[in-house]
Amino acid sequence: MMALDALSSSNGFVATSSMADLSLADGALPIFDVERVQLQFSIAADFVAAQVANNVLVLALSNGRILRIDLNRPEDIDDIDLPKKPSEAGVIRRMFLDPTASHLIVCTSLGDNYYLHSQSRQPRPLARLRGVSIESISWNPSLPTASTREILIGASDGNIYEGYIETSTEFYRKEEKYLKVLQKLPDGPITGLWVDILPGRQDTRRILISTQSRLFHLVGKVGRGHDGSASIYSKLFESEQPVIHELSRSSATAASALVVSPDAQDVSRLRDNPGPDRAFAWLSSHGVYHGKLLVAPLGPELGTKVYADSKLLPRSQLASSEAGGRRKASPDFVDAIALTQWHVVSLVGERIVAANRLTGSIVYDQVILDPGQKAIGLCVDIQKNTFWLFTSQEIFEIVVRDEDRDIWKIMLGMQQFDAALQYAHTPAQRDAVATASGDYLVSKGLFNEAAGIYGKSSKPFEEVALSFVDNNQPDALRKYLVAKLGTYKKSLVMQRIMIASWLVEIFMAKLNSLDDTIITRAELSETLNPTQTKEQLDAVRTEYQDFITKHKSDLDKKTVYDVISSHGREEELLFYADAVNDYNFVLSYWVQRERWPEALNVLKRQTDPEVFYRYSSVLMTHAAAELVEILMRQGNLKARNLIPALLEYDRNFKGPLAQNQAIRYLHYVVNQLNSPDAAVHNTLVSIYASHPSHDEAALLSYLESQGDEPKYDPDFALRLCIQHHRVLSCAHIYTSMGQYVQAVDLALAHGEIDLASIIADRPISNPPLRKRLWLAVAKKVISQSNGIKTAIEFLKRCDLLKIEDLIPFFPDFVVIDDFKDEICTALEDYSRNIDGLRKEMDESSQTAANIKVDIAALDHRYAIVEPGEKCYVCSLPLLSRQFFVFPCQHAFHSDCLGKRVLEQVGAGKGKRIRECQVQISRGLVSGAKRDAMVAELDSLVAAACILCSDFAIRRVNEPFVKDDDDKSEWAL
């Protein structure tokens, strides 16, 4: 197994100190460096050709072998032999490897051509290309990997072929699907071919063709090929004429080649820049002709544009440069070239010379090869952006580092400021570009354009500002200050405040100037009429508003108010106040000018309760309905704090209650918000009671809605109602307070008989009070009635009054005939009541007799105790000692029963039981007294069965299994 060492390419680019017009920081590495690759294998043959693509290195040896090395794994090398020996096929003359490293074409000195796919180790001969001396190949721009698709092949006899090559495993099947001659040029060998697809035009191709003396640029549409069934380039070559760049007096012995720059690398660091355009370079006897591969305009004029922007790097400049401290006397021809993103790398004899494409200056010139040593190729890995130099025994890598680091300075020198800014990597570089760009624009009188650029530079603030002031450029000054303000850090508070305040002054002056121009209908300038002035006014006002919105934190409130007020700019003043949420200022402004709709519009956007409290009085006075609408949408207000405004409004209101906005708002607070605040309810009562209308319906409806637990102060409400003679309301308040007598008296005093009757019926649970109230009503009714019968009919509404209760109120000379029927009815009621009482007495006597019989029967009651019956407490034989038997058939020993009773009875009864037990057991009593105590003890202990009486009910919470019980007895 063979391996290579140190085959790792650098991906970074750096600038070099050898460029006369570029400075190089101390310690910085040069752009170019050449490193010799150490080979860890030995071979008996020399290298005769080499190619690199996609990190794959292919080496052709003089003995006919081909080495294919993946630079990511250099220890693995494919060793491939051609089908024929070198003596039969000739020495490998040239190789062509596509950018993906998938396709390799090998050309020998005897005209044999072979195709090798990356997945194969067996080269296949290309029969149709036998005898064709291939000088150049343009691979398909879509970079296919399975097959080559359509490719262009340039031969040494001037023929240009189109071919299609694919891998074939069949012996009799040819590798190339077709081969077609597109054109023959009389110039000699086709030294270079390049094809690319123009963006957005997949059917359009651009073709570059180079010979010893001419460079062709061809643009046109291609035909539609169907998977290699037909040529696609025939249509283009037949229908389009190329744009030609021709050299005069070219040398046939000089090298000729066409190369393009590799794919752009590391373009992410370029801000909003996709990378530089791909470039081309044509090596001829005159030098290196190079330029950008522009993509517009389409058509034949594209070639003219490309050539117009291209330039020649003379051979004399490359070949006669200083090398190793000496200058060659006679210039050499350039042997080979390669393009980096920004430089032309040339092989001149034993030297590698690199020149900047933009300036033509030499940035690297170093002798690499030993005397007499000859290079076999200068190769570029287009995809990986690596560069290689091969000799017959050695491999060199040309390392490129950070080559665009000083491109910004070159662009700056060429006054291409946008491009310079794109390639400026550090803040200092970007600052230098901005300063130079601003100075250039000022020199051209483009102050507005310079202002924004100056704002991002470090040029002294006062110098720039004075420059704009001296040249009377307020717009440029405004633009500069806005840009400069954006560059200051938040910590630089004073600087930001000063610049922002200055900008407010400039904005006001500009707006006033534009307003004056519109009012006087004068032209601001020769190119700006009044209509355009109005448009500019709107634009400046919008700019001011954007500025305030963005930089309101950088402005001092008092300073801004003073500046804007001094210019009389009402709209701008209010916009600033709105932006900083100074709604007190805005409201105060509109209120002072009695602009109530504007004030209300501001109030609608508020959420701070203090703002509503502060301005509620004046707004209730002048815009009550609209204010109440706003207040009802605010859920965070305390209605108590609005009471002064509501009372002030009510004091001046002269309309009906239905239109009173204070009542409307209080109703909303009471009914919708369910406010429990007594002050709110008292205010509503006060407004109702003090209204000049005699209608109490609204007040009474409110009082009735409060129910038995009113939220208003009853004493306060009662005093108000008495003060304003609200009789019905007073009576209702008395009733709600339980003062029925005062309520009835008040109603009767004002002749409200029906109201007094209703109130008298309310104390349902207190019949004596209810009767007393009705007697007061009866007295009033009888005294005012024209006829006794009428009064009696009215008083029948109460079920407590009887005729005898009313007789004392009748006049002295009343005729009994007027209430004879009522007296008869009363007597009949008394008779019925007497009969009922007599019947109840008879039933009671019979019940007493039955009880006596039952008591006598108790003396003869008995119970049968069976042998073996047990005590329900201790479970021992019942007959073993004194016992009790209850009618429920439960039986207990007397001592067991006593213990259970003592556990459940109260303290007093338990104490008496213990006293009786002690006196009987100790013989402290005898005779009749003892018998009486025994009877008392029996009555206390055996009053009820402990299993079926209230004793059992009291034990319902006791657990079945107690802590001292044997739990195993309950186990399942």
Which band of pLDDT confidence, cut at 50, 70 and 90, is reported for residue 232?
Answer: very high
Residues 6+ away with beta carbon under 8 Å from 196? 141, 205, 206, 278, 293
Residues linked to residue 388 through DSSP beta bridges, in sequence order: 379, 397
What's the confidence (pLDDT) of residue 572? Answer: 85
Cβ 113 vs Cβ 134: under 8 Å: yes
Strands 395-400 and 386-391: antiparallel
What's the confidence (pLDDT) of residue 355? Answer: 93
H or E element in which residue 243 lies: strand 243-246
What's the confidence (pLDDT) of residue 249? Answer: 80
Rounded Cα distance between 355 and 558, Å, is 63
Which band of pLDDT confidence, cut at 50, 70 and 90, is reported for residue 214?
Answer: very high
Rounded Cα distance between 952 and 431, Å, is 103
What's the confidence (pLDDT) of residue 808? Answer: 59
Residue 22 backbone phi and psi in degrees, to 5: -120, 140
Position 860 pLDDT exceeds 80: no
Rounded Cα distance between 972 and 962, Å, is 17
Percentage of the chain lying above the pLDDT 70 cut = 83
What's the confidence (pLDDT) of residue 10? Answer: 35
Cβ 314 vs Cβ 286: under 8 Å: yes
Which band of pLDDT confidence, cut at 50, 70 and 90, is reported for residue 277?
Answer: confident
Which band of pLDDT confidence, cut at 50, 70 and 90, is reported for residue 275?
Answer: low
Region 965-969 average pLDDT: 69
Structure tokens at 476: 């440029």
Residue 48 backbone phi and psi in degrees, to 5: -115, -20
Position 836 pLDDT exceeds 60: yes
Residue 359 amino acid letter: T
Residue predicted with more confidence, 116 or 446: 116
SS3 505: helix
Give helix 767-784 / helix 788-795 axis angle, nearest 10°: 160
Which band of pLDDT confidence, cut at 50, 70 and 90, is reported for residue 929?
Answer: confident
Region 816-827 average pLDDT: 59
What's the confidence (pLDDT) of residue 5? Answer: 46
Rounded Cα distance between 713 and 685, Å, is 10
Rounded Cα distance between 948 and 940, Å, is 16
Which band of pLDDT confidence, cut at 50, 70 and 90, is reported for residue 656?
Answer: confident
Query: Omega of the bond prior to 242 within 30 degrees of 0, cis?
Result: no
Rounded Cα distance between 450 and 456, Å, is 10
pTM for this model (two decimals): 0.58
Structure tokens at 79: 């060793």
Residue predicted with more confidence, 556 or 827: 556
Question: 272-286, 517-531, 604-618: which range is least confident on average?
Answer: 517-531
Other Cβ atoms less than 10 A from the Cβ of 557: the count is 13
Which band of pLDDT confidence, cut at 50, 70 and 90, is reported for residue 205?
Answer: very high
Cβ 872 vs Cβ 891: under 8 Å: yes
Tokens 């129910």 locate to 707
Nearest partner of 138 among 120, 119, 155, 126, judged by Cα? 155
Cβ 738 vs Cβ 728: under 8 Å: no
Residue 603 amino acid letter: L
What's the confidence (pLDDT) of residue 3? Answer: 42
Q: What does the mean pLDDT of the chain come to? A: 81
Rounded Cα distance between 202 and 223, Å, is 11
Residue predicted with more confidence, 269 or 758: 758
Give strand ranges (E) for 30-71. 32-37, 47-53, 56-61, 65-70
What's the confidence (pLDDT) of residue 270? Answer: 43
Output the CA angle 410-414-416, nearest 5 degrees.
Answer: 95
Residue predicted with more confidence, 433 or 100: 100
What's the confidence (pLDDT) of residue 805? Answer: 52
Give helix 753-760 / helix 767-784 axis angle, nearest 10°: 160
Which band of pLDDT confidence, cut at 50, 70 and 90, is reported for residue 970?
Answer: low
Percentage of the chain lying above the pLDDT 90 cut = 24
Q: How far is CA 690 from CA 616, 653, 826, 934, in A?
A: 22, 12, 50, 82
pLDDT tens profile 22-70: 334 444 678 888 998 887 767 778 899 999 999 999 999 998 899 999 9
Region 298-310 average pLDDT: 89
What's the confidence (pLDDT) of residue 60? Answer: 93
Position 869 pLDDT exceeds 50: yes
Supply the DSSP symbol for 671. I
Position 823 pLDDT exceeds 70: no
Which band of pLDDT confidence, cut at 50, 70 and 90, is reported for residue 19?
Answer: very low
pLDDT tens profile 764-800: 666 676 667 666 666 666 666 655 666 566 656 665 5
Structure tokens at 431: 């600052």
| Helix/strand/coil percent split, the chain, to 5 | 45, 20, 40
pLDDT tens profile 434-475: 878 787 778 878 888 778 778 777 788 888 888 888 888 888
SS3 355: strand
Cβ 837 vs Cβ 829: under 8 Å: no
Position 272 pLDDT exceeds 60: no
Rounded Cα distance between 473 and 453, Å, is 15
What's the confidence (pLDDT) of residue 27? Answer: 46
Residue predicted with more confidence, 38 or 824: 38
Rounded Cα distance between 363 and 720, Å, is 105
What's the confidence (pLDDT) of residue 194? Answer: 96
3-state secondary structure 157-219: CCEEEEEEEECCCCCCCCCEEEEEEEEECCCCCCCEEEEEECCCCCCEEEEEEECCCEEEEEE
Cβ 387 vs Cβ 398: under 8 Å: yes
Question: 95-104, 754-763, 768-777, 805-814: which range is least confident on average?
Answer: 805-814
What's the confidence (pLDDT) of residue 717? Answer: 81
Which band of pLDDT confidence, cut at 50, 70 and 90, is reported for residue 9?
Answer: very low
Supply the DSSP symbol for 136. E
Position 87 pLDDT exceeds 90: no
SS3 535: helix
What's the confidence (pLDDT) of residue 375? Answer: 92
Cβ 741 vs Cβ 774: under 8 Å: no
Rounded Cα distance between 968 and 859, Å, is 47
Residue 857 backbone phi and psi in degrees, to 5: -70, -20
First to last CA, the chain: 86
Cβ 285 vs Cβ 247: under 8 Å: yes
Cβ 102 vs Cβ 117: under 8 Å: yes
Region 930-956 average pLDDT: 82
Would you call 935 exposed, middle or buried from its count of C-beta atoms within 10 A (0-12, 13-18, 19+)? exposed
Region 419-426 average pLDDT: 82
Rounded Cα distance between 681 and 508, Å, is 52
pLDDT tens profile 151-183: 999 999 999 999 999 887 665 567 778 899 999
Strongest mean pLDDT among 553-567, 588-602, 766-780: 553-567
Position 372 pLDDT exceeds 70: yes
Cβ 662 vs Cβ 670: under 8 Å: no
What's the confidence (pLDDT) of residue 74? Answer: 82
Phi-psi region of 325 (alpha: psi -120 to 50; beta: other; left: phi over 0): left
Which band of pLDDT confidence, cut at 50, 70 and 90, is reported for residue 292?
Answer: very high
